[in-house]
Structure 1
Amino acid sequence: MKKILMVLTSHSGMENTDGKTGVWLGEFTDPYYEFIDAGYQVTLASPKGGRPPVDPMSELTEHVTGANRRYNDDEAAKAAFSHTQVLDQIRSDDYDAVFYPGGHGPIWDLAKDNNSGILILDFLDAGKPVAAVCHGPAALISAEMQRPGFLKGKIISAFSNAEETLVGRSGNVPYLLQTRLEEFGAAVKTALVPFLSHVEKDGLLITGQNPLSAGPVAKALIDMLNQTEKGE
C-alpha cells in the first residue's frame, strides 16, 4: 500500500491581532479523503506533534466543504488529527510522497523548520513527489535554507499577494508568501482571478494556490504516483 505523509503546522498566533490561525481545515480534509478514497495510507505529522491548531475562519459555514462534514463524522480521522507524530521522528524512507496543507501557520513554523526542509530535500532526492497548497509552499523556504538556490527557477503556485490583501490579513503576517518565494528566485504562477483553483507542476513538485486548489493538488499527486508505479 502506498503511504503518504501529511505535514501540518503547529503555529496558531498572528501578528498585530488577537485573531488565531493554524491549519485551514478544508486544505487538510479535501486532500486527506482524496488519498484515503484512492486506497492510500496517510500519516499525519507536525513540528510539535499532537493536535494542530485549526484556523477558526476555516470552520465558518461559508468555508465548510463536504470533506469537512465527512471529517466531523469520522472518529478515526479525528483521532489521527489529534495525535500527529512529531516531525523530527519522521523518515522519508517510510513514505512515497509528502503533502503540506496550508492555513497561515506554515509561514511561521514550517518555513523555518530544519527537519521539514531536510525532509523535503530527502523526498525529492529520492525521486518522490512533494506537494503543497496555499501557505503550505512556505515549507519550501526551509528547503531553500538547507540548500541555497533550491527555489531559483522553480515554477510554483501559492497564496497570492492579492488574495492576502483581500482576506484582510496582509498586516498580520511577517511577510507576503508570494513575494518571499519570488525573492528566492521562484516563478510564482497564479490564477487570473483571485480564489480560483490553480495548480502548478515542476518536476516532482506540485503546488496549489488556495483552498479550492487543495483537492486538485491531491489528485495531481495521486496521478503522479500512479504514473511512477506504471513506470511512465
Structure 2
Amino acid sequence: MNKIIVLFLILIGLYPSDIYAQNKILFVTSNQDFYGNTKITAANHFEEIIVPYNAFIKAGYSVDFVSPKGGAIPIGYINASDSLQKKYLYDGWFMDKLEHTRKPDEIISDNYSVIFYTGGGAAMYGVAEDQAIQKIARSIYNRNGVVAAICHGTAGITYLKDEKGKSLYTGRKITGYPDEFENRNAAYYKTFPFAIDKAIKNNQGNFVYSKNGGDAFYIVDGRFVTGQDPSSAPKVAEEIIKILDNNFKPNAAAKNDLEQIRAVLLDYIEGTANGEPKRLRKAFHPKFNLYTVAKDTLWTRSGEKYISDIKAGEKTNRIGNIISIDIEKDAAIAKAEILIPNWRRFTDYFLLLKYEGNWKIVHKSYSWIELPKQEKK
C-alpha cells in the first residue's frame, strides 16, 4: 500500500510538469544597448522575435522571455509598414513582455519544451557566457526539448556543453549569421567578442550556411533547429512545431487548456452578441464582477446584473475578437476587443482560473474609445 502511495505521489509530481512544459517556449534575448563599449546602438531583432512568436501562439503554445539581467530589452530592425510587425509593435500586451523579461533565476526549466535564441546585434553580448541560461538550455535539451536559434542568436549557443563539459552539439550542423557576411571594417564588428561560425566550430559543431543569404536557409539536426537570417524565421518556427508534435504526442491536456479558455471567451463574446444568457452563466464564476473607470470613478457591476440585461434571442451588432491568452498552470489572463460599429470599441481584460476541471472568468476590467458615427446614405 505504501509503495502505491509513493508511486502516486511521484506521478502527480512529475506528470503535470511534463504536460505543462509541452505548451511553453522560452525566448532568450539580450539586454545589450550598444556594440561593446561604443555608442553604436545595438538591439534585438524585432522581426526575428515576432514572426516565430506569432507562429507559436497560433499553434497553441505560450511564450516567455528571458534575458541575462531581466527587465526591458532594446529592440530594433523594425519595419512599421509590415503588417505583422505593426500589429505587435502597437500591442501593449506583447510589448509589456519585452519590457519585463525574466531573469534566469526566475525560470523553471522543467516548464519549457523549447529554448529559442533570438537574433540582432545585441545577441552577441551577455548571452553566450551566461551560465544560468546555459544551464536552462541544457536542462530543456536533456528533457527531450529543442534548442533553436536564428541569425546572430546562434551566438548564444556557442559555449553550450553537457554536464561532463562536452559540446551539446558535437558533429551536428548548425547555422547562423556567417562571418563572411559581416562588414569586417565597420566599427560595430570590431567590438564582437567572437565570430559565430568559428566559435561553433571550436565547440565541435559543423557550421553551415547559404552563400546566397536571404533565402530562408535553415538546418534541422536532431533537436537543434537554426536559421541563417530573418528570412528563415517562418521555417524555423514550423520545424520546431513539427518536432514538438512528434516528441510530445500526449500534449492534449496542455493544449486542451488553451482550447477550453478560447471556448469560455467565445461563450462570453458570442453569448452577449447573440442573446444567450445560458452561455454567459457557463463562462462566468457566480461571483464574477466587471470593473471600469467612468468620469475618473471606479465603476463596478456584478456579473449577475450583466447577464440579467441580456435578453434571450436578442442579437446585437457586436463584433468580438480574442487578442491574446497567457496561461500559467491554473491561472490565465486574456485580452479581447469588442467592436460596436458607430458607437465604441471596447478592450476587455480577463482573469480566468481553473478549478474542478473547468476554466471560469472570475474578473473583467475594460476600457473603451468612442467611434465616429457614420452618416447613413
Shift of 1:109: 0.8
Against the structure 1 CA distance between its residues 28 and 167, is the aligned structure 2 distance closer, same or farther, given a 3 Å change threshold? Answer: farther
Indicate yes or no: 2:170 matched with 1:152.
yes
Cα distance in 2 for partners of 1:142, 1:180 equals 8
Please state how far the C-alpha of 1:110 moved relative to its aligned partner. 0.8
The residue that corresponds to 1:125 in the other structure is 142
Q: 1:66 to 1:100 in 2, by over 3 A?
A: farther
| CA shift digits 1:8-53 (9 cap, x unpaired) | 1111221474211121111111111111111111111111111111
Query: What is the aligned length?
Result: 227
Using the TM superposition, give the Cα deviation of residue 60 of structure 1 relative to its aligned residue in structure 2, in angstroms.
5.3
Determine which structure has the larger strand proportion and give its number. 2
Per-residue CA deviations over 1:105-137 (Å, capped at 9, x if unaligned) read 222211100011111111111111111111112
**1:141 shift after superposition:** 2.2
Percent of aligned positions that are identical = 26
Q: Which runs of 5+ in 2 are unaligned?
A: 1-19, 251-377
The structure 1 residue matched to 2:182, chosen from 120, 145, 164, is 164
Aligned to 1:108: 125
Partner of 1:28: 49
Which one-letter code corresponds to 2:121 in the other structure? H
Separation in 2, partners of 1:179, 1:26: 26
Distance 1:17 1:150 in 2: 33
**Cα distance in 2 between the residues matched to 1:159 and 1:209:** 5
Partner SS state of residue 144, structure 1: coil
The letter of the residue matching 1:11 is Q
Q: CA deviation at 1:210?
A: 0.8
Paired AA for residue 33 in structure 2: S
Unaligned runs of at least 5 residues, structure 1: none
For the residues of structure 1 that align with 2:181 and 2:215, how far apart are their CA atoms? 10
The TM-score normalised by the length of structure 2 is 0.56
Say if 1:116 and 1:142, in contact at 8 Å, map to a contact too.
Answer: no
Q: What does residue 89 of structure 1 align with?
A: 106
Distance 1:166 1:173, change over 3 A: closer
Alpha-carbon spacing, 1:163–1:228, altered in 2? closer, same or farther (3 Å)? same
1:193-204 equivalences under 5 Å are 193-204=212-223
**2:28 paired with 1:7:** yes
CA-atom RMSD in angstroms: 2.2
**Where is the helix percentage greater, Structure 1 or Structure 2?**
1
Q: Would you say 1:66 and 2:90 are equivalent positions? A: no
Assess if the C-alpha contact under 8 Å between 2:158 and 2:196 holds in 1.
no
- Structure 1 residue identity aligned to 2:60: G
Structure with higher Rg: it is 2
State whether structure 2 residue 237 is matched by structure 1 residue 212.
Answer: no
What CA deviation, in whole Å up to 9, does each residue of 1:70-114 have, x standing for no partner?
112312111111111112221210112121111122222111000
SS in 2 for 1:69: helix
Q: Which secondary structure does the structure 2 equivalent of 1:165 belong to?
A: coil
Higher relative contact order (CA 8 A, sep 6+): 1
Task: Measure, in 2, the Cα distance between the counterparts of 1:125 and 1:175.
Answer: 27
Pairs within 5 Å for 1:36-51 = 36-51=57-72
CA contact (8 A) 2:73 2:98 kept: yes
